[in-house]
């Protein structure tokens, strides 16, 4: 046996191939795609990640990285391949000045728990903090502070990665810059993130939460534009909510946060006086309590079993000039009627000038709107909902929308080429250089299988 054969044999011995392990790795939060891997590896270092890719690449074995397991449509799975369970690579810290080093397997709740004692937090957090750091950076990451600070990925200062070719590199905007900008919001196509250095900003101890209700969509979108562009709130999201006791009526809620200085509360009149909402609710909260607000919902859904049901979610970015018509038509579509009883429709503005990652695709215009249709299906009933997602995507795309690629949405290589447009060549070239065997990111379906 050669030394290479012995190394391969040692690597294969590290793979966990127990049936229960393979079953777990063959599912994700979406519970829509089930792709059993060959085995699961739990690397404890970048060197072990490198060993996996050196082994898998020449053999054409798919490799997928997994931390929180929060993908929706098999993006973090590897049929017949190797799943890298990054749970052992989850250290956070040290916090040094306005930055923190984070291993890619950490969850965002771990990051916040490590930085808040210093009065600091990442500039942008996603609503759900149980997602893994590496996964969010790979899709870009959106949240209530994106109108001010862009993507979660835009706060990254440096990355440690292992490419599909087995190169272990540290990259930043000034060092291996092309690779750095292909990894962030690059859907895991060229490298596995091992570590990220994140920029931090001051976090308030308290916040005042405003919920402002609008009966009219046009007035809502107009005020959301104003609030996004003048940046008076540190956090800005919103929802479409069904009107009770009607078959198809909707109203709209702005959700916004202002920092609360304890004895000196925010000036509600100054913040709200020029807005056209109907009714309002306010409450004062500990910032950590607000940031972790989804944790209570998760606990409830896990207890009821609904957390393990299929989640055919759809996330679209809409240009401002067609947002009202697209929102109105999709919410009126009978295929999305279940949103009224068993779902959530997020609708909030983003400023394209704050979204820096080159591979993050956005519609035309200064202001765009995220429409996130978050639904839960009964087991065995998700296929028509996924098909409805596809129809809604095609309709919205014809009106200038693009997908935010955290979706339960079938996408062909041709769809992806259209999605990336002029950036497709950049991504394809990076893929050929850094993942020449094409083993990374197959769950997204960007490339035609060879």
Which DSSP string corresponds to 234-269?
A: SEEEEEEEEPTT-SS-EEEEEEEEEEEBTTB---HH
Q: DSSP strand E in 97-146: where?
A: 99-103, 120-121
Query: How confident is the model over 303-319, as a mean pLDDT?
Result: 96
Q: pLDDT tier at 13 (50, 70, 90 boundaries)?
A: confident
Tell me: pLDDT of 418 over 70: yes
Least confident span in 4-8, 156-160, 279-283, 370-374: 4-8
- Which pLDDT value is given to residue 269? 96
- Which pLDDT value is given to residue 342? 87
- Sign of the Cα torsion 440, 445, 447, 450 reads positive
Query: How confident is the model over 241-263, as a mean pLDDT?
Result: 92
- Which pLDDT value is given to residue 10? 75
Structure token pair of residue 406: 């955290």
Dihedral angle over CA of 346, 348, 352, 355, nearest 10: -60
Query: How confident is the model over 81-105, as a mean pLDDT?
Result: 97
Query: How confident is the model over 339-354, as a mean pLDDT?
Result: 96
Query: How confident is the model over 131-158, as a mean pLDDT?
Result: 98
Instruction: Confirm if 184 and 161 have CB atoms less than 8 A apart.
Output: no
Tell me: pLDDT of 12 over 90: no
Tell me: pLDDT of 3 over 80: no
- Which pLDDT value is given to residue 262? 80
Q: Could you give the CA distance from residue 110 to residue 84 in angstroms, rounded to a whole number?
A: 20
Give the whole-number percent of the chain exceeding pLDDT 90: 93
Tell me: pLDDT of 49 over 90: yes
Least confident span in 4-13, 99-108, 110-119, 348-357: 4-13
- Which pLDDT value is given to residue 7? 64
Tell me: pLDDT of 450 over 80: no
| Backbone torsions φ then ψ of 314, nearest 5 degrees | -135, 130
Give the whole-number percent of the chain exceeding pLDDT 70: 98
pLDDT digits 0-9 by tens, 194-248: 999 999 999 999 999 999 999 999 999 999 999 999 999 999 999 999 998 888 8
Tell me: pLDDT of 8 over 90: no
Start-to-end CA span in the chain (Å): 31
- Which pLDDT value is given to residue 11? 79
| Backbone torsions φ then ψ of 295, nearest 5 degrees | -60, -40
Instruction: Confirm if 98 and 87 have CB atoms less than 8 A apart.
Output: no
Query: How confident is the model over 16-42, as a mean pLDDT?
Result: 97
Give pairs for 6-14: CB < 8 Å, separation 24+. 7/51, 8/55, 11/51, 11/52, 11/55, 12/39, 14/41, 14/48
Query: How confident is the model over 83-100, as a mean pLDDT?
Result: 97
Tell me what the pLDDT averaged over the chain comes to.
96
**Of 170-184, 241-255, 259-273, which has the strongest mean pLDDT?**
170-184
Query: How confident is the model over 368-393, as a mean pLDDT?
Result: 97
- The conformation of residue 40, written as its DSSP 8-state character, comes to E
């Amino acid at each position: 046996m050669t030394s290479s054969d012995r190394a391969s044999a040692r690597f294969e011995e590290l793979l966990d191939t127990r049936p229960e392990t393979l079953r777990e790795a063959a599912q994700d939060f979406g519970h829509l795609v089930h792709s059993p891997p060959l085995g699961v590896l739990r690397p404890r270092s970048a060197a072990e990640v490198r060993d996996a890719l050196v082994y898998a690449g020449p053999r054409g074995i798919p490799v997928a990285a997994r931390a929180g397991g929060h993908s929706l449509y098999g993006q973090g799975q590897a049929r017949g391949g190797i799943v890298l369970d990054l749970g052992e690579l989850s250290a956070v810290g040290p916090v040094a000045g306005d930055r923190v080093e984070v291993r890619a397997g950490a969850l965002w709740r771990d990051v916040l728990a490590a930085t808040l004692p210093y009065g600091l937090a990442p500039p942008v957090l996603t609503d759900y903090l149980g997602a893994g750091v590496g996964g969010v950076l790979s899709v870009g990451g959106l949240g209530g502070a994106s109108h001010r600070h862009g993507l979660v990925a835009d706060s990254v200062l440096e990355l440690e990665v292992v490419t599909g070719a087995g190169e272990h590199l540290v990259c930043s905007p000034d060092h291996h810059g092309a690779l750095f900008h292909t990894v962030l919001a690059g859907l895991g196509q060229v490298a596995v993130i091992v570590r990220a250095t994140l920029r931090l900003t001051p976090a308030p101890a308290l916040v005042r939460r405003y919920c402002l209700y609008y009966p009219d969509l046009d007035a809502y979108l107009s005020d959301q534009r104003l609030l996004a562009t003048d940046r008076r709130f540190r956090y800005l999201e919103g929802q479409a909510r069904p009107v009770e006791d009607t078959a198809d009526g909707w109203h709209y809620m702005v959700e916004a946060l202002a920092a609360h200085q304890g004895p000196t509360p925010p000036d509600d009149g100054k913040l709200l006086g020029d807005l056209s909402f109907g009714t309002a609710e306010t409450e004062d909260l500990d910032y950590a309590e607000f940031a972790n607000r989804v944790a209570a919902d998760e606990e409830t859904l896990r207890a009821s079993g609904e957390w393990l049901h299929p989640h055919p979610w759809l996330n679209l970015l809409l240009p401002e000039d067609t947002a009202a018509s697209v929102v109105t038509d999709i919410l009126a579509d009978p295929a999305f009627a279940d949103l009224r009883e068993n779902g959530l429709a997020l609708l909030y503005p983003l400023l394209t000038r704050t979204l820096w990652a080159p591979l993050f695709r956005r519609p035309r215009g200064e202001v765009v709107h995220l429409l996130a249709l978050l639904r839960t299906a009964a087991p065995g009933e998700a296929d028509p909902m996924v098909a409805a997602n596809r129809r809604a995507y095609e309709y919205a795309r014809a009106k200038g929308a693009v997908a935010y690629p955290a979706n339960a949405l079938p996408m062909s290589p041709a769809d992806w080429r259209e999605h990336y447009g002029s950036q497709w060549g950049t991504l394809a070239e990076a893929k050929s250089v850094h993942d020449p065997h094409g083993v990374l990111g197959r769950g997204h379906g960007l490339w035609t299988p060879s």
